[in-house]
Amino acid sequence: MNKEQRLKTPESLLVKLVEHGLLLQQDKNLPNIVSFVTGEVVRGSWWSHPDAQTIYECLNTVVEHPDVLVSKLVLGKVTFVHRRLWSSILAMANSHDLWQFENLSEQARNLYGVIEQNGTMLSSGQKVKELEQRLLVHSEQVHTESGRHETQIETWMLWAERVNCQSILAVSEGKFQLETAVRSFGGKEAMLPWYRYSGKA
């Protein structure tokens, strides 16, 4: 993409998300919002880019859209998922397969046990990233009363009830749909967590 083809509005970015089903926030190779907005591959933090304010506004609008789920699906990076693939995400998240738990740190296992009991909580650190990247919890950034940004994690069951997402897909079908979506936007199956954490990548 060159600068003449930049997408400078959230609406145009959402059209791209509908087209692909998935978009990354930032990446050197795969379709991503930062590159769509700037018309170039941005290396390093996009906060230092001249279009940082536009990127920020577009990202916020996309994140808040009711048809957008934010996950760490592709390469453990921030991935925007269109509603049509939500049931596939839910099927994989609830599979409780070996790749989700193998070599998980003790801290992450303990946190997972707490979230399964409590349903939702604020947390941070490497243990949260482990759970996010294995699709063991849903997470989102929230503003606390103190004005800070923190990560709120919750069970996928609570998330599904909140957004009215009902998964009737078998795990195999969810896996197939997400792998198809990743291939269709230029990625590889090995970028998905069930390959990255099972030794198949």
Q: What is the pTM of this model?
A: 0.92
Average pLDDT over residues 106-115: 97
Q: What pLDDT score was predicted for residue 6?
A: 79
- On average, the pLDDT of the chain sits at 92
Q: Which of 18-32, 64-78, 109-123, 134-148 has the lowest mean pLDDT?
A: 134-148
Tell me, what DSSP letter sits at residue 192?
A: S
Tell me, what DSSP letter sits at residue 168?
A: -
Average pLDDT over residues 68-81: 97
Average pLDDT over residues 18-47: 94
Q: What pLDDT score was predicted for residue 55?
A: 94
Rounded Cα distance between 92 and 11, Å, is: 29
- State both tokens at 119: 């349903």
**Packed helices 126-133 and 106-118: angle between N→C axes, nearest 10 degrees:** 70
Rounded Cα distance between 193 and 142, Å, is: 25
pLDDT band at 7 (very low <50, low <70, confident <90, very high): confident
